Structure 1
């Protein structure tokens, strides 16, 4: 029974006067709504725009300011923000730690972005790490992971994961994986696969040892996408060899494990990812099996497969969603 029905019942029973009924209905129709996420989005955009604006200002006035002045300014911004965050942070805990105030998260994000700008500028202009670019990306990565765990910040954790990918020589964004066009290189494929498995392992260990369990989603989100995409392109690259079947077996084994894990954690998002990537792998296999049929029969079979399989897939996803909501 809704509040409106309850008010109506109380009015009919005489418990609620008409005047009170009207006031309650008016209040029900003018309920307050939360601006939490809107304000958070605006603040995050503000930090990003501030960082971008400082970059443009420095770029246009670099001859006037000088490199040392620019580095000093960036270091002052980063150091000042970190000083504030260390001074006002709550004690470390392996559980979720909320920010002490509204501005804390955004100052921490600005500090981290300024730190990355500082190290990148320092390496570009003065080559303090020489040609050892691995060290130039490794140090910011370690700092970002430390900051993410010390201050319990999911945004900084995502930046640290991206820096881990940079350190390993790849891009963490799935769209960049698809547009890179360099998956004929076995080294790149194995690097992506290794990165994906490292992130998946980090997510499982986070949950297993109950240490910052809320970080699990970020690790599994990136790890799942990267692992499946790497396995699919590994299959493409090895299609003419005997290793093609092995790539698919690993993909389906990973899908089965992640599917069971997603059901155990009641995570429809990861169930959906596993189903879609598995369906894509099966569809690729069916397409290549029917590719040798040159007559219209092969085309009809392919169309029939996609119609039936897509219908079954949608029904299965809807049913799973209902079951998970009910439980």
Structure 2
């Protein structure tokens, strides 16, 4: 963009026109700002809307179109999305932001088609949850092939859902697994995701943009969810509280070291939720519990503001 600020300053004006020149300078020096975040949100909403529309299409037209024709259409649409990403790879160029979200749409369409196939035709029978493992393997392979952290997030979601509903892992742990509630399963997912992030610290992992961050984001959230789930059970309440505090300290330290505000928000936010919940369980009086909870929330806000200030100071 051409800047004419110096030319405007060089124009000789009398005192009456000084204000006009100042206004002209302000207009000339308009700052260029990025709308990338807004565009990301808009594209994500567009993809989510399309997937919602596919679901409504299936519901409204199943009897008229038939499951085979409907599934064929969804698989073809998914293949077209993958083909666009393959064309970019064949041309040895980076995908544009729009093409990246088209690839995400293809992955979600594929998940929709596979899930509906299982519901309609019962391919895996009693082991119906295995289709989630299939989706995890497919999306994980696609994520690394296309080097797409968005598709990786779909793969990790499929894995977490599979862990949440799978009943059998083998004869060794079958007797114990039904007693594993949401807490241990979430913590297991967090451990797997953390190990995935460690893989991308090594040289042989290669440059996969955003992969380590995606693994860490999932690991942090599932870890806190697991701790909160343990805290909701009277028999594991204090174990959950200790895990929650340990995670908060670890994630908060990581956020400060890596200068990541999102991890600071996780550490403060989740620990505040757990602390307020524990206070509500221990303090029977409603008024006292409410006052204590309010004090805790205010203290958490103060801590978060101080942490953000430390980030700004360290980056100065």
Aligned to 2:16: none
Is the aligned partner of 1:237 residue 2:238?
Answer: no
Is the aligned partner of 1:71 residue 2:65?
Answer: no
Pick which of 304-313 and 268-277 moved more.
Answer: 304-313
Aligned to 2:263: 270
Aligned to 1:189, which of 175, 180, 183? 183
Pick which of 65-74 and 133-142 moved more.
Answer: 65-74
Equivalent residues of 2:183, 2:228 under 8 A apart: no
Is the aligned partner of 1:147 residue 2:142?
Answer: yes
**TM superposition shift of 1:265:** 0.8
**TM superposition shift of 1:165:** 1.6
**TM superposition shift of 1:284:** 4.7
Q: 1:60 to 1:100 in 2, by over 3 A?
A: same
Matched residue SS, 2:181: helix
Aligned to 1:315, which of 283, 302, 310? 302
Is the aligned partner of 1:198 residue 2:198?
Answer: no
TM-score by length of structure 2 reads: 0.74
Aligned to 1:214: 210
Q: 1:284 to 1:44 in 2, by over 3 A?
A: closer
Q: 1:91 to 1:289 in 2, by over 3 A?
A: farther
What are structure 2's unaligned runs of at least 5 residues?
A: 14-19, 167-178
Is the aligned partner of 1:160 residue 2:155?
Answer: yes
Matches of 1:309 and 1:55 in 2, distance apart? 42
Equivalent residues of 1:207, 1:213 under 8 A apart: no
Q: 1:214 to 1:109 in 2, by over 3 A?
A: closer
What are structure 1's unaligned runs of at least 5 residues?
A: 93-97, 172-184
**TM superposition shift of 1:191:** 1.3
Q: Which runs of 4+ in 1 moved over 6 A?
A: 19-22
Q: 1:91 to 1:319 in 2, by over 3 A?
A: farther
**TM superposition shift of 1:247:** 3.5
Q: 1:238 to 1:37 in 2, by over 3 A?
A: closer
**TM superposition shift of 1:22:** 6.4
**TM superposition shift of 1:21:** 6.8
